[in-house]
Amino acid sequence: MPLVIVGVLLAILGLVALVPLSIAQRYRMSTTRRRARGWLAAVNAAGFALSIACFLAGAAFTTHWVPDALRYTLAGLAAGCTLGFVGLLLVRWEAAPDGLHYTPNRWLAITVTAVVAIRLLYGWLRAYHAWSAGAGNAWWLTAAGAAGSFAAGALVLGYQFTFWSGLRRRLLTTLRSADRAR
């Protein structure tokens, strides 16, 4: 039995150790030049729309235990959608014979990545302090800043949804223009 507990603890520590690596990989992938693909943009936009609906439902449910979770989520979603529009304005678009290519803005990618990383660290720190202070029941969720975590998550969802929807729209506009030119 103690060996199983040690194995589980090592697995958890391994996953925690992979978080910085996954954040760095996410940043690297979000700043590379890519070809715009209509099906991929449509699937991503639909997936993020579904994620937003589920996330809002979860925030509304969580508001019972964590005050202002829904309000923070809506504010984060609005900020994320705004960042998504800014991201679309800052993208470098390149029309090529094989299709439309885009390179996202590095500064915006690092900003969104940093928001997630900082929010994770801050939540862990606050949760640790609440736990070590002996806070019981579920108030540690409030002490850990769960409403702020909802806002950070909604910011990323809003950004990604707006970005992929805008990319799809831009691709369709480019394809229509190319068809008219023929």
Asked if the model's pLDDT at residue 123 lies above 80, the reply is no
Q: What is the model's pLDDT at position 56?
A: 95
Supply the pLDDT for residue 22. 76
Domain boundaries, the chain: 31-181
Q: How confident is the model at residue 112 (pLDDT cuts 50, 70, 90)?
A: confident
Q: What are the pLDDT digits (tens) for 124-142?
A: 777 777 777 765 555 555 5
**pLDDT score of 79:** 95
pLDDT at site 141: 53
Q: Give the residue with greater pLDDT, 127 vs 144.
A: 127
Q: How far apart are CA 147 and CA 149, in angstroms?
A: 5
- The total number of residues shown for the chain amounts to 182
Give dist(CA 111, CA 94) in Å, integer. 24
When comparing pLDDT for 23 and 173, which is higher?
173
Structure tokens at 83: 């960042």
Q: How far apart are CA 134 and CA 129, in angstroms?
A: 9
At residue 99, what are phi and psi to the nearest 5 degrees?
Answer: 140, -170
